Amino acid sequence: MIKLLNEWYQRHFSDPQVAILALLLILGTTVILLAGDILTPILAAIIIAYLLDGAVYWLYRHKIPRFISIIVTFSAFILLVFISLIVLAPLIVRQAIQFMREIPSMLAQGQAEIMQLPNKYPHIVSEKQIGDIMTRLQSQVADISQKVVEFSFASFIDLLSFMVYLIVVPLLVFFFLKDKEKIIIWFTKFMPRDRTLVTTVWEEVNSKIAGYVRGKFMEILIVWVITYITFLFIGIEYALLLSFVVGISVLIPYVGAALVTIPVAMVAYLQWGYSSEMMYALIAYSIIQFLDGNLLVPLLFSEMVNIHPAAIITAVLIFGGIWGIWGVFFAIPLATVIHAVINAWPRLS
């Protein structure tokens, strides 16, 4: 066994290039696992800088000096944040609070519908089964209510952190954009001189991650706006809140669309019942999801991320379980890193 392990190690790690790459991956993973919470504002600033760097480069390519491009792009970013906090966030929060207040009446209406099932389908559903279901539902609702109360208390503490991030993150974004080349040069000073494999993997991964982050942001924005306009035209309640949730759901490929179908269908049913309006809402939602998956995603990402759907879902489950929402957002880029490393490894044999 020891001989086999030694042969495996010599075959895969005898080359210094592979050892350097493996060491960097281990160090990066360890730092994120142990200090992920502390590094949250830095990670957020890096993500935003990735988004804005494309706009800076586009302006610079059109003969605008880089510093002026940075100022213009950063000012647009600050304006967008200001509009989101002053206009959009209060509307979404207001609809969310209103939705939470109406949950008891929704549950009562749903309970009334469920209690009629034994009369309509006596050979399929019994009153005892309905009673057990209602008992479990009431228990789940009590747990959810308790979590909402706990979240409300915790949100006061989180508000302080949010205010700090609101100042720190934009400053970091500005300096990351302004001193991008200096930061890269400083970082490379700590790297070994012979880093051909690391550079090859990084160039491939960097281009894909940058494109993925920008593409995913555009996908969220486009799906959100189109869904909001559609829901507003149909007249469904909580149009802004539901469209926002639909937009965010694209972060979780395949699974997100299925999960968001539940609140959309529930709100449509409680508003219109089994009617043509409800069917129109569900059909419109299905068309949006179809166009997103079959037109928008190929248009935005093309061959940027060529990974099997099963691997994508696995990556979402694994990295989402480790890093929460950040893991979900970066599941595909992280899977791309692993894919690039695996592709580079056999070349050393």
Instruction: From first to last of the 349 residues of the chain, give the pLDDT tens digit.
Output: 666 656 655 555 555 666 666 666 677 767 766 766 677 788 778 878 877 888 888 888 888 898 899 999 999 999 988 888 888 888 887 888 787 777 767 666 766 766 676 666 666 666 666 667 667 766 666 565 555 555 544 454 556 666 777 888 889 999 988 888 888 888 777 776 666 666 777 776 776 677 777 778 888 899 999 999 999 999 998 888 899 989 888 877 667 777 888 888 888 888 887 888 889 889 999 999 888 877 777 777 655 555 666 777 777 777 777 766 667 666 777 777 777 666 666 454 4
Distances (CA, A) of 170 to 59, 108, 329: 20, 46, 20
Sign of the CA dihedral with 335 first, then 340, 346, and 348 last? negative
**Predicted pLDDT of residue 153:** 47
- Please check whether residue 18 is in contact with residue 345, taking contact to mean a CB–CB distance below 8 angstroms: yes
**Predicted pLDDT of residue 156:** 47
Annotated domain spans of the chain:
195-349
For the chain, how big is the Rg over CA atoms in Å? 25
User: How would you class 221 by CB atoms within 10 Å of its CB: exposed for 0-12, middle for 13-18, buried for 19 or more?
Assistant: exposed
d(CA 57, CA 204): 19
How far is Cα of residue 82 from the mean position of the Cα atoms in its chain? Answer: 21
- Please check whether residue 41 is in contact with residue 168, taking contact to mean a CB–CB distance below 8 angstroms: yes
**Predicted pLDDT of residue 117:** 66
Per the confidence metrics, is the pTM higher than 0.85?
no
In degrees to the nearest 10, what's the CA dihedral of 249, 251, 253, 254?
A: -10
- Please check whether residue 52 is in contact with residue 76, taking contact to mean a CB–CB distance below 8 angstroms: no
Total residues found in the chain within this entry: 349
Q: Give percent helix, percent strand, percent coil of the chain, each to the nearest 5.
A: 85, 0, 15
